[in-house]
Amino acid sequence: MITRAQWGARAPKEIVNLTIPVPEFFVHHTDTWECFNVKNCSAAVRSIQKFHMDDRGWDDIGYNFLVGEDGNVYEGRGWDHLGTHTKGFNSKSLGTSVIGNYTAKLPNEKALTALKALIACGVEQKKLYPDFRMYGHRDAGKTECPGDALYKLIQTWPHYSHKPPKTVLV
């Protein structure tokens, strides 16, 4: 896990605690360039945080975590803080984005392994319900996220839910 301090995060404007464990996990892609080492992935995460905070006006980076093709997980808002990754579902889910665009190709094995390990860690640490439901971002709104290739893959994973998620207020 690459901590916020290690990737050079800005301080959040506000922190709202998330009631854990949560029943849902959303997979995203950043729709940016891929990264293959800590230096480049950290720069990508800082750029995403800048976009979310300065252009979108959010309190912090939107995702709870990000995953690079270097095989590392980058701490966004973390396990315990409410994200802004999936409108209408944030108060009952965690959102993780794989850094890159996965419309035409899959993330590499390092990234996929890190994503699976993060999910297992969430269950083990009781941040996710053991019977959590997984979704792609597009399951909750009109978007192409997490990209066609990655979306097709996660639909084969054990916790992927073919039933649509139910909206909540936050």
Which tens digits make up the pLDDT trace of 31-48?
999 999 999 999 999 999
Tell me if residue 152 falls in helix, strand or coil.
helix
pLDDT confidence of residue 169: 53
In a domain, 134, yes or no: yes
Within a domain: 168 = no
Q: Which residue has the higher pLDDT, 75 or 170?
A: 75
What's the mean per-residue pLDDT of the chain? Answer: 96
pLDDT at 85: 97
The rounded percent of the chain whose pLDDT value lies above 90 is: 95
HEC states along 70-109? CCCEEECCCCCECCCCCCCCHHHEEEEEECCCCCCCCCCH
* Percent share of the chain, pLDDT over 70: 98
Residue 35 domain-assigned?
A: yes
Q: What does pTM read for this prediction?
A: 0.96
Based on the structure, what is the number of domains in the chain? 1
21: in domain: yes
Tell me, yes or no, whether 165 lies in a domain. Answer: no
**Rounded CA gap, 166 and 48, in Å?**
27
User: CA angle, 89 as apex, 28 and 72 as ends, to 5°?
Assistant: 30
Domain coverage including residue 134: 4-154
